[in-house]
Amino acid sequence: MHSWPVFLLQLLLVHGLPQADNAAPVRLLYEYPVGTWIENIAVRSNGDLLLTVLNVPHLDQVSPYKANATPETIHSFPNALSVFGIAEIAPDVFAMAVGNFTLTGGVQPGSFSIWSVSFTMHDTMEAHKIADLPQATFLNGLCSLPGTGSPKDFLVGDIKQGLIYYVDTSTGDYGVAINNSFTAAVSDPVFGTAGVNGMHVHDGDLFFTNTGQALFAKMHIHTSGTPAGEPTIVARVLNSSMEFDDFAIKDNDAYLVTGSGNSIERVGLEGTSKGRIVAGSLNSTQFAEPTSCAFGRTEADRHILYVVTAGGLATPVDGDVTVGAQVLAVDTRLWLS
């Protein structure tokens, strides 16, 4: 069994800014060269991590339980610049959003498509396009829909249009499933305009973040992804230095990455209590602009929260510090006890 070194987080000693409460041990698995942006993460059933890369159209894979874990590129998508949200739609089959984006030039509307990557019994990989979405402006968050067969259909959010598409995995047909004031895009200091971002379905509810509106919300949905109830706010960011991006759900809590806040916030799904920072801090590069997180899936690492970062490329730490994109392992047993 792999032993996880124990590192203590440095707490931010600045009056009035959120500080990590019951900080958990953190291990840096890998740091990419400066200029790399890891956008999203998914965990395979064998424990390997799949990482989508924003600055190049790559899907990387890394085994977190191996010594000196080093990601390898397992697929490069043609006619694209970036890879965004990713979700498992069948055992060892993953859907992901692919399109064109650069930090200097922004997004290219109409460039987006959805691809699937599947792993066979012998761990070879096959990739194929599910659908082009020419009406999309900027696809990002993606989640599968329980109860829609195998492979599952899924939802994918358009952060610029502020709406959520439903995609039929078998046919490639798609349409708008959700478009309301909670998903809507508003002015954002980092991305110009930003709306719905990360999303996951849990116990029949769609949980989602809205980066521009600085909120985390939930809404009961049908198996088709359409609304079955009114949305409600679960939490808002603790202060204006943060922005909710993606998140992971464990038991009755969500663990949200705060982007420019360089931290992880824990929020109860019921929305009855205030969130709290459990790792990282505003002026630290330990989590330099975290973009996504996911829990391990094996008996050895179900308590490990894997976090990926953009290295501060969009929002440098302290205004001018960037590092390479990070892949980190956070031992959450202190939080879960």
Whether residue 18 is contained in a domain is answered as: no
Q: 271 in the Ramachandran plot: left (φ > 0), alpha (ψ -120 to 50) or beta?
A: left
Residue 264 binned pLDDT confidence (cut-offs 50, 70, 90): very high
User: What's the total number of domains in the chain?
Assistant: 1
Q: What is the mean pLDDT of residues 183-201?
A: 93
Which residues touch 264 (CB under 8 Å, ≥6 apart)?
255, 256, 257, 258, 277, 278, 279, 280, 287, 290, 293, 305, 307, 330
The DSSP-derived string for 182-249 is TT--EEETTTEEE-EEEEEEETTEEEEEETTTTEEEEEEB-TTS-BSS--EEEEE-SSTT-----EEE
Residue 142, pLDDT score: 98
Whether residue 16 is contained in a domain is answered as: no
Mean of per-residue pLDDT scores for the chain: 91
Whether residue 9 is contained in a domain is answered as: no
Whether residue 132 is contained in a domain is answered as: yes
User: By residue range, what is the domain housing residue 48?
Assistant: 26-336
Whether residue 180 is contained in a domain is answered as: yes
Which segments of the chain does DSSP mark as H helices, in order? 333-336
Handedness of CA 236, 240, 245, 246 (dihedral sign): negative
- The predicted-structure confidence for 214-226, as pLDDT tens digits, reads as follows 999 999 999 999 9
Whats the size of the chain, residue-wise? 337
- The predicted-structure confidence for 107-166, as pLDDT tens digits, reads as follows 999 999 999 999 987 778 999 999 999 999 999 999 999 987 789 999 999 999 999 999
Whether residue 11 is contained in a domain is answered as: no
> What CATH number does the domain containing 42 carry?
2.120.10.30
Residue 61 DSSP class:
E
Whether residue 150 is contained in a domain is answered as: yes
**Single-letter amino acid, residue 164:** I
Helices (H) and strands (E) in the chain, counts: 1, 28
Whether residue 10 is contained in a domain is answered as: no
